[in-house]
């Protein structure tokens, strides 16, 4: 009796496998036919923000010196690798192109004063956000600081693409 059950299971399995392949054939043909009738036009890329172009020469002349003078590119700070979402090349091995890209990612062309590049080092009492350098921001005591204003001018000069 057990032998008969084994034979029947083998036969049932064989039928299912054959039916599965036979049932999949129409679905595969429909899929192939659908591919031929698909629209060949490439869809637009997904939306998700506006691209901005920043002035690299202005960055090199005004922003990079501020970041260096304020110690942002030291090993203990952003020059020692990525800290949060921001990294800079170390002070002794400057790579302005790398620093430029990193700073651009921290810039908000829609609202330059809201840029992390400005809000993180700004004292909390002046509207900044806490910063690991001293726990409260404070690299810039106020928005009137000339170095803050130099970075703000660079961000504000960005061009929407």
Determine the pLDDT at residue 148: 97
Six-digit token string for 134: 């001293």
For 23-33, the pLDDT digits (tens) are 555 655 555 55
Average pLDDT value for residue range 43-64: 80
Predicted TM-score of the model (pTM)? 0.67
For 95-118, the pLDDT digits (tens) are 999 999 999 999 999 999 999 999
Q: Are 135 and 123 in contact (CB under 8 A)?
A: no
Question: How far, CA to CA in Å, does 88 sit from each of 47, 72, 82, 133?
Answer: 29, 8, 7, 15
- Domains of the chain, by residue range, sit at 1-43, 52-160
């Amino acid at each position: 009796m057990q032998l008969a059950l084994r034979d029947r299971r083998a036969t049932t399995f064989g039928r299912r496998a054959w039916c599965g392949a036979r049932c999949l054939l129409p679905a595969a043909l429909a899929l192939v036919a659908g591919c031929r009738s698909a629209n060949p036009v490439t869809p637009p890329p997904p939306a998700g923000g506006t691209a901005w172009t920043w002035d690299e020469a202005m960055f090199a002349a005004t922003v990079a010196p501020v970041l260096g003078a304020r110690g942002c590119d030291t090993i203990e700070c952003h020059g020692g690798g990525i800290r949060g979402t921001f990294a800079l090349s170390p002070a002794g091995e400057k790579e302005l192109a790398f620093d430029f890209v990193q700073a651009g990612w921290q810039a908000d062309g829609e609202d330059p004063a809201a840029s992390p590049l400005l809000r993180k080092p700004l004292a909390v009492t002046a509207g900044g956000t806490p910063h690991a350098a001293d726990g409260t921001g404070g690299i810039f005591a106020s928005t009137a600081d000339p170095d803050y204003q130099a970075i703000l001018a660079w961000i504000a000069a960005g061009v929407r693409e």
